[in-house]
A and B are shown apart, each in its own frame.
Chain A
């Protein structure tokens, strides 16, 4: 049986089981014949919310918090029972898994109540900015996107200092278990640790293996492979199916994320070692030329999409590939939400066309790498009225045990701890179906070897969310002349903002 047929059949078997058209015994028998083991037990039990969380799984003994962790919470949380903590966060798989499935365990054990305000990313920034400006301590914990680390570095506790308080330290918390590239890329600003890595959306290459096989295309391991394959697919199957997709909404942060992948992938960088914008140099212009050609193989609506539209275009079979957030992969494998369940494969990002610039050749901590990371950290606010209780929650929320549960219950989102990638519960979910973790080895390898991180400077939130995407949006709308004109004008703007400090 062809691999693609096996996967398609498996997806259909899973779909029938999820919809209650097949009993558990028949499902396991069919899954076993298709080469699945006990991991199939984790599939599709009960109705799943949007991010493919299984309610029934939370009742499974394997998927409840560790008893030792619960005992520690009960002991350490006693003095703080009755405290209410508040956190404003983006709607990410970890936050949603904690908010809807896991925090009840924390609350029962510790007596500390958690109230989580879930908002789009831009609104989280607004709330945090207000809280910091007023020092009012409305929120006890901050969800800090990596592009905001510089802005909030003075407003949160360094967890390395917090860990020195032995009375509140979680046994086996092991702060060294966090993947070092993530600590450096997400949670460090100068010498301050701005919380601990909490989530890690990272660019990986996700493509339709069935289409690649059908057209006998080489796996897209290089930029040239990707461009050629995208052209071939668009020529052969367009306008029903396009070769690739993008997150190119004018004026949105997503457009900046896409730009950096191609920029870094062509050996360029955002800043040079003197802290001047250099996206308009030779390599930067090569990246723009490549991107122009690649855009011609994307669906027409791509100028209006963020990662949302990009993901949907792949899920609905309109685009055959995307270089984008690995968090989408479990969504693609969900037969209820996606038409490509079982048909997608994940690999590391395409190799750059030339040598990447090193950290020494850039400024502000920029780390060139095609695997653009958009991770966030979790930190205790210095203005919190209950910092000790908040620290207890933060340790629990970012512990290895909780991360393993989040990864399984939260739909295969990438963990930030090394040990969680090897957790048996996580590995057991590495099968085709909603909430899969079969892409996590690729995520892990990308973090280790291909990750790119944006610069850290106070003005970066403005530059990345406004200045750059507005300029690029005008370029793709044909409103700002050539790529060179656009990037030269952008250089003036960015250098001016950076100079203001």
Chain B
């Protein structure tokens, strides 16, 4: 009995330590967003006893939301971040949607259909994942400029979807592989078409996998920097790129950067909350073989 209580206590303690380790950086970063400059660099670090302020949020978002008595038009420097947050949400959401739609169709075909070159195709998809983005960033700039896609939502959504497609295809293929092919066969016997089987039988069963893939695609798009920097100018910008604008010639505006960072956690957090029910199922899907 004592051993059981002790082990339960230890387990709880260990769990709290792990939670604390992961949560502390988020807490610290968020607290920096509510501090004046002096408190950010106080020695020793002041974790709890500081005078909170909304100054940083007001400076980073307030001007672009029309507060502070100053009108700032697009391209207005460091203090025009609300639209940039929106840009990131739009690009990440749409690119995830595009990647998932294409990836599920491609993955189903790779999982269920036999065609010549299927294995080579899978290897080719895998190989594109190994390509460093920096190798194609400059050529993509010229291509985008030629097609008029530079600094556009269409351009950013396309490149992020393209970037996430290999991973999404491979992940979805493994999820589809775990759904028994016999289900498809019995549906075929009952007269269902391929697309009907895909849409009404296989896809609902792979919901968890789709959720897991969507989360990964969203996060990769949300945090992507190189293409967002190279393929945009002033029309749209994503959060990782505009965060770097707080590195100024007279130092880094840590409080402002933390305010933007803390605010940018929220959309990703909401997205994961919406799909979390399917997430755990999806992550563990396939762990047990028939």
Contacts and interface: CB of A to CB of B under 8 A. Distances in A.
Interface string A94-125: 01100111011001000001111111110100
A91 B230 contact: no
Contact of B68 (A55, A107, A113, A336): A55
A141 to B, nearest CB: 12
A136 interface: yes
Interface string B244-255: 111111111101
A339 B38 CA distance: 7
Interface in A203-240: none
B75 A201 contact: no
A241 to B, nearest CB: 11
Given A104-B71, A328-B250, A116 B77 contact: yes
A318 B43 contact: yes
A59 B68 CA distance: 12
Given A50-B256, A138-B233, A325 B249 contact: yes
A99 B71 contact: no
B161 to A, nearest CB: 23
B75 A59 contact: no
Contact of A117 (B38, B79, B230, B233): B233
A96 B248 contact: yes
A475 B234 CA distance: 41
Interface in B225-249: 229-230, 233-235, 244-249
A91 B43 contact: no
Interface in B22-77: 36-38, 41-43, 55, 58-59, 63, 68-77
Interface stretch (A30-38, A306-314, A478-486): A306-314
B234 A116 contact: yes
Nearest to B255: A50
Contact of A88 (B70, B233, B250, B253): B233
A201 B249 contact: yes
B145 interface: yes
A262 to B, nearest CB: 22
Contacts of B36: 336-337
B145 A138 contact: yes
B249 A91 contact: yes
A120 B247 contact: yes
Contacts of A100: 63, 70, 72, 76-79
Interface residues of A, number: 58
B138 interface: yes
Contacts of B121: none
A325 B251 CA distance: 11
A442 interface: no
Contacts of A88: 233
B141 interface: yes
Nearest to B249: A92
Contacts of A126: 229-230
Given A336-B36, A337-B37, A107 B73 contact: yes
B156 interface: no
Given A91-B248, A100-B70, A130-B141, A117 B75 contact: yes
A50 B78 contact: yes
A93 interface: yes
B150 interface: yes
Given A50-B78, A100-B77, A55 B70 contact: yes
Contacts of B79: 49, 100
Given A123-B229, A338-B37, A312 B251 contact: yes
Nearest to A307: B251
Given A47-B59, A50-B253, A308-B247, A115 B72 contact: no
Contacts of B234: 86, 115-117
B77 A50 contact: no
A338 B38 CA distance: 6
A308 B75 CA distance: 24
B244 A119 contact: yes
B31 to A, nearest CB: 17
A90 interface: yes
Contacts of A334: 37
Nearest to A127: B233
Contact of B145 (A47, A95, A121, A136): A136
Nearest to B69: A55
A86 B73 CA distance: 13
A308 B248 CA distance: 8
A312 B230 contact: no
Contacts of A119: 229, 244-245
Nearest to A101: B70
Contacts of A104: 71-73
A165 interface: no
Given A120-B245, A130-B138, A130-B141, A47 B58 contact: yes
Nearest to B232: A117
Contacts of A90: 248-249
Contacts of B253: 50
A318 B44 CA distance: 12
Contact of B250 (A56, A113, A138, A325): A325
Interface in A278-327: 307-308, 311-312, 315-316, 318, 325, 327
Interface string A73-95: 00000000000001010111101
B271 interface: no
Nearest to B242: A118
Interface in A120-147: 120-121, 123, 126-127, 130, 134, 136, 138-139
Report the 6 A-B pairs with minimum CB-CB distance, sorted nearest first: A115-B75, A99-B77, A337-B37, A115-B234, A91-B248, A50-B253
Given A50-B59, A96-B248, A331-B250, 9 more contacts: A49-B256, A56-B69, A59-B69, A93-B249, A99-B77, A100-B77, A104-B71, A119-B245, A336-B37
29 contacts: A49-B256, A50-B248, A55-B68, A88-B233, A90-B248, A91-B246, A91-B248, A92-B248, A99-B75, A100-B78, A100-B79, A103-B76, A115-B234, A116-B77, A118-B78, A120-B244, A120-B245, A130-B138, A201-B249, A308-B247, A308-B251, A311-B251, A312-B41, A325-B249, A325-B250, A336-B36, A336-B38, A337-B36, A338-B38
